[in-house]
Amino acid sequence: MPARGGFRERAFHAWLRRSLRPGRGVAVGIGDDAAVLRLADKNLLATTDSLVEGVHFAAGTAPRLAGGKAAGRVLSDMAAMAATPRFGLLSLVVPPSWTARAVRRFVEEFEERLRRHGASLVGGDAACAPGRFVAAAALLGEPGARRPLLRSGARPGDLILATGSFGGSILGRHLRFAPRVREAIALARRLPITAAIDVSDGLALDLHRICAASRVGAVLEAGAIPVSRAARILARRTGRSPLSHALGDGEDHELLLAMRPSGRSRLERLHAGVGVPVSIIGRFGGRGVRIRDERGRERPLPASGWEHGSRGAR
The CATH 3.30.1330.10 domain(s) of the chain lie at 9-143
> Judging by beta carbons within 10 Å of its beta carbon (0-12, 13-18, 19+), is residue 132 exposed, middle or buried?
middle
> Judging by beta carbons within 10 Å of its beta carbon (0-12, 13-18, 19+), is residue 40 exposed, middle or buried?
exposed
| Beta sheet of 35-39, edge-to-edge order | 26-28, 35-39, 42-52, 134-143, 83-94, 120-128
Those residues whose C-beta lies under 8 Å from the C-beta of residue 87, and which sit 6 or more positions away, are 119, 120, 122, 139, 140, 141
The CATH 3.90.650.10 domain(s) of the chain lie at 151-300
Position 305 pLDDT exceeds 80: yes
Give the C-alpha separation, 308 to 314, whole Å. 8
What is the model's pLDDT at position 2?
A: 43
In tens, the pLDDT along 199-213 reads: 999 999 999 999 999
In tens, the pLDDT along 230-261 reads: 999 999 999 999 999 999 999 999 999 999 99
CATH number among 1.10.730.10, 3.30.1330.10, 1.10.1740.10, 3.60.15.10, domain 9-143: 3.30.1330.10
The highest-level CATH class for domain 151-300 is: alpha beta
CA 223 to chain centre: 23
